[in-house]
Structure 1
Amino acid sequence: MDLWVVIPAYNEERSIGATLRRLAGQTDLGFTLAVVDNGSTDRTAGIVREFAAGHPELDVRLVNEPEKGTGAAADTGVRHAIAAGATHIARTDADCLPDPGWVAALRRAFEAGVDMVSGPLRPRTDEFELKLWERRLLPAVVELAAFFGRLRPGNADPLALGPYLMMPGCNVAITAALYEDAGGFPRTRIEDVHEDRALVNSVRRLTRSYAVRRDMVVYGSVRRLRAYGLVGTLAWYADHRYRPEVVDIR
């Protein structure tokens, strides 16, 4: 298994260092790391270069994608990995902290025969001083979004071979073969299309070999929840029924 981890990043100088350090602390370091700089105007690329120089034990690549968009950046990173020989690719985001056993968990899923896998998204506690109810809010929002995702007419595809499962782009892994067969992440901006949902629905037409594993945990930023509020965040993830003036919360 030639495993790569892809991170799309746009102006993430405040967050990406913690993400990189968490990946350097994985119990399983058998992967190549590709960070896709999506036209950042801050020190994102410089921080990645400094991290790579200070962690020679990791194979870190910096890829450029000037076309703005999480879908475009993620697709560029995955296809770069596949062209370099990757057989399996995982993705997280530059404001997220994978659990120390994240890589090991997704590897176990692949070795068990799954072709696409995701896991729980839990709130980071290092960005803000979260109250107890806030710590419970992000998991509740994710669970609610997953529930309504199964009911959403747009996910009720008569050609699908299996049920809709919510697989957030910050916590997903897929085989290279399935990624290419499914057409990959649409090369779009997050404000236009939720690229992770689009990929899941493409995969559902091809196979039943996808799953959610409880041990594959990523801790996600709560900055969007703080900026949009609960109702706005739910509406944002429900086909962009809420569209804020500022999408890229930094």
Structure 2
Amino acid sequence: MTSTVEQSRGGSAPTVDGPLWVVVPAYQERSRIGATLAALAAQTDRDFTLVVVDNGSTDGTAAVVEDFATRAPFPVRLLHEPQKGVGAAVDTGFRYAIAHGARLLARTDADCLPHPGWVAAARAGLVGGAGLVCGAIRARRDEHGPLGRAGFRVLVFLAASFGRLRPAHRRTGGYLAPYRMHAGNNMAVTAELYQACGGMPRRPSPTDRTFLNRVRRTTPAIIHRRDMVVENSTRRLRAYGIRRTAAWYLDQGSGPLTEDPR
């Protein structure tokens, strides 16, 4: 089932590089998605359409989105994806956006806070010739103090380093670009590349590395932008611990743990 909620506040004409759409998958995020929506409304570049894909929430997440749409400074679309898993939600959102004219796509998650220049940086990267833009992730300030945020930066650095050294990620076997740290909650991709590479795998998390490697086999045009910043929740890290979180992101599965740490 798909419903549409759309409000526009003096929307400017699409830029020559084509319409940009932002996709946000959401599941049971009633208590957090309001802050994400507010962060998107505070963007310096608000010439985009927002698509929130509700992945079967029962906590009133959709109602929060519908209320936000009545005062949003950009068009808002609310989709309902019955197939569980962030990959299915993201893929549905991206393909819906493409079918409705999107040429540039960006994604963050419903527990994340994109910085004010996030959309502008994503657009600049794609217009500048990149097929995929990977941004910088930081720990949310409302979840951690300075020491916790510093520890998170170390973990991200170690994960990125391991990814570059991992034999499976070396520039062989058809890869056209070296491995780069890619967080699904902070990415932008052209519609053309998304379709060419096969899109996001329609499965539960983790999906990011699979998608990145699909892109790496399709194009070398992958860049990282330090000014494309998202503060993301570390609740999986706090719920699972470092070792189990690492196992999760290495596709070892959740074991006895739930796929959703809430």
Which TM-score applies when normalising by structure 2? 0.90
Contact 2:104 2:123 in 1 (8 A): no
Alignment of 1:174 onto 2:174 = no
- Provide the identity percentage: 53
Which one-letter code corresponds to 1:138 in the other structure? Answer: F
Specify which of 71, 86, 107 is matched with residue 123 of structure 2.
Answer: 107
In structure 1, the gaps of 5 or more residues are none
1:237 corresponds to: 249
Which one-letter code corresponds to 1:151 in the other structure? Answer: L
Which one-letter code corresponds to 1:177 in the other structure? Answer: E
Instruction: Tell me the C-alpha RMSD between the 2 structures.
Output: 1.3
Decide which moves more: 196-205 or 73-82. 196-205
2:9 corresponds to: none
Specify which of 108, 124, 132 is matched with residue 92 of structure 1.
Answer: 108
Alignment of 1:21 onto 2:38 = yes
Contact 2:22 2:49 in 1 (8 A): yes
The verdict on how the C-alpha distance between 1:125 and 1:152 changes in structure 2, with shifts beyond 3 A counting, is: same
Runs of 4+ displaced beyond 3 Å: 241-244
Per-residue deviation, 1:143: 1.5
Secondary structure in 1 matching 2:68: helix
Secondary structure in 1 matching 2:228: coil
Alignment of 1:121 onto 2:137 = yes
1:218 corresponds to: 230
Contact 1:88 1:176 in 2 (8 A): yes
Contact 1:114 1:211 in 2 (8 A): yes
- 5 Å-filtered alignment, 1:184-195, equals 184-190=199-205, 194-195=206-207
Per-residue deviation, 1:246: 2.0
The verdict on how the C-alpha distance between 1:139 and 1:236 changes in structure 2, with shifts beyond 3 A counting, is: same
How many residues in Structure 1 have an aligned counterpart in Structure 2?
Answer: 244
The verdict on how the C-alpha distance between 1:244 and 1:108 changes in structure 2, with shifts beyond 3 A counting, is: farther
1:239 and 1:189 map into 2 onto residues whose CA distance is 11
Per-residue deviation, 1:242: 5.3
The superposition leaves residues 25-65 of structure 1 with CA deviations (integer Å, 9 ceiling, x where unpaired) of 0000010000000011111000000000122x310000110
Which one-letter code corresponds to 2:200 in the other structure? Answer: F
Which one-letter code corresponds to 2:243 in the other structure? Answer: V
2:254 and 2:228 map into 1 onto residues whose CA distance is 30
Alignment of 1:205 onto 2:205 = no
1:155 and 1:80 map into 2 onto residues whose CA distance is 31
Alignment of 1:76 onto 2:92 = yes
Specify which of 18, 30, 46 is matched with residue 47 of structure 2.
Answer: 30
The verdict on how the C-alpha distance between 1:94 and 1:180 changes in structure 2, with shifts beyond 3 A counting, is: same
The superposition leaves residues 113-162 of structure 1 with CA deviations (integer Å, 9 ceiling, x where unpaired) of 11110111000012x3x243211122221111111111223323421111
Per-residue deviation, 1:244: 4.7
The verdict on how the C-alpha distance between 1:100 and 1:179 changes in structure 2, with shifts beyond 3 A counting, is: same
2:13 corresponds to: none
The verdict on how the C-alpha distance between 1:170 and 1:244 changes in structure 2, with shifts beyond 3 A counting, is: farther
Secondary structure in 2 matching 1:90: strand
The superposition leaves residues 86-118 of structure 1 with CA deviations (integer Å, 9 ceiling, x where unpaired) of 001000000000011000111111121111101
Which TM-score applies when normalising by structure 1? 0.94
Specify which of 49, 52, 58 is matched with residue 66 of structure 2.
Answer: 49
1:12 corresponds to: 29
1:196 and 1:179 map into 2 onto residues whose CA distance is 13
